[in-house]
A and B are shown apart, each in its own frame.
Chain A
Amino acid sequence: MFMLLFFGIIGFAIGRVITLCISSFFHQRNYLNEACANTMIILGSGGHTTEMLEIVKKLNKDKYVPRFYVVSENDQNSVDKLLSIENDKSEYKIYVITRSRKVHQSYFSSIFTTLKSFIDCIPLLHHSRPNLILCNGPGICVPVCIVAYLLKVFYINSACRIVFIESYCRVKTLSLSGWILLYMTDLFVVQWPELAKKVSRKVMYFGRLT
């Protein structure tokens, strides 16, 4: 009986993953038709944060609202930068999550911190129920996007769109986060023609964004 249930769930998940993957190639419009979208923005270290905030500055603040920023612990720099572009406290919220692996951390202990960062993502995504996740490749976007994808697979938050913008400095190869998340995203943007031709038919290319 349990075996049957187990295989049923696995079968369902596989079917759902295949459908999501195929539909992500067509970039269907969102049928929510709501006036605004809960937007989650994932900030990483240095360059990633600067690039992401340039995009956020251009978003229509009345439509992409409320905005949930995700930063890794001890990343005061990203917090300072985002505070310089946000002024209405009712429109945004900042979440802090554990980093999967700090520099010089041993691989063994990083298993636990990775697990912790996945667990951190569950309440985060449950409270904010994003309609859109914007990320551009810092390490912490991997657990957030994987958990958001699983919630989609099991129809817990199926209205969530994951948008990945590959960093400006990626000219010929995808970043590791990009490779991991490529087929989980609903929209994947690269900024250089060579990369657009090479990776997959799935990627979108608008020219450089910077």
Chain B
Amino acid sequence: MEFKRIFVTVGTTEFDHLIEKLSEKEVYETFKCRLKCKELIIQRGKGKEIDFSHFEDINVQQFDLKTTIENDIIEADLVISHAGAGTCIDVLGKKKPLLVVVNDTLMNNHQVELAEQLNKDGYLVYCFLSNLVETLEKFDVTSLKEYETGNLNKFIEYLDDFMGFI
């Protein structure tokens, strides 16, 4: 499987350790040889701009924030993101392969639990900064299931009944 266009997003916060990690030579090799990446789009939030000039064969674009990243998600072949619930829902809803990188420097980060659970259900892959390269090396999109939308209708039906509307 080729991932020509990879989109990295960290939401409205900052996750400079992730962006720095991505700029390492080892990651560049994996992107180029294993994932066949040609374009890398980085949404870095409140973080600082990091130098990617050594990514010779990959076209790198960076920006901080945008009103909507919907199109960036749609156009991507692979999304690498932080563990934010909103981002996970957006990406899975658009049926894109998702790799969540957990920020283990945040204490009591209950969003890790969400990434773990969605991984257990087979919808995404998650890793930490320390095993990012290995995870990218063995990333297998066929092991992922397509995200099914939730049971909101069941709740609404129950609520209608509960309020005496049925």
Contact = CB atoms under 8 A, between A and B. Distances in A.
A103 B154 CA distance: 36
Interface string B31-49: 0000000000000000000
Contact of A32 (B114, B154, B164): B164
A206 B86 contact: no
A206 B155 contact: yes
Interface residue SS majority, chain B: helix
Given A47-B86, A171-B116, A173-B110, A55 B152 contact: yes
Nearest to B90: A50
B106 interface: no
Interface residues of A, number: 41
Contacts, number: 86
Interface in B80-104: 84-86, 89
A180 interface: no
Interface in B57-87: 84-86
A75 interface: no
Contact of B165 (A31, A47, A60, A170): A60
A171 B150 contact: no
25 contacts: A29-B161, A30-B163, A32-B164, A34-B164, A37-B163, A47-B84, A47-B86, A50-B86, A55-B155, A59-B156, A63-B165, A131-B163, A161-B162, A163-B159, A167-B85, A168-B114, A169-B85, A170-B110, A171-B113, A171-B116, A172-B113, A173-B110, A186-B162, A187-B162, A209-B152
Interface of A: 27, 29-34, 37, 46-47, 50, 54-55, 58-60, 63, 131-132, 161, 163, 165, 167-173, 186-187, 189, 191-192, 194, 204, 206-210
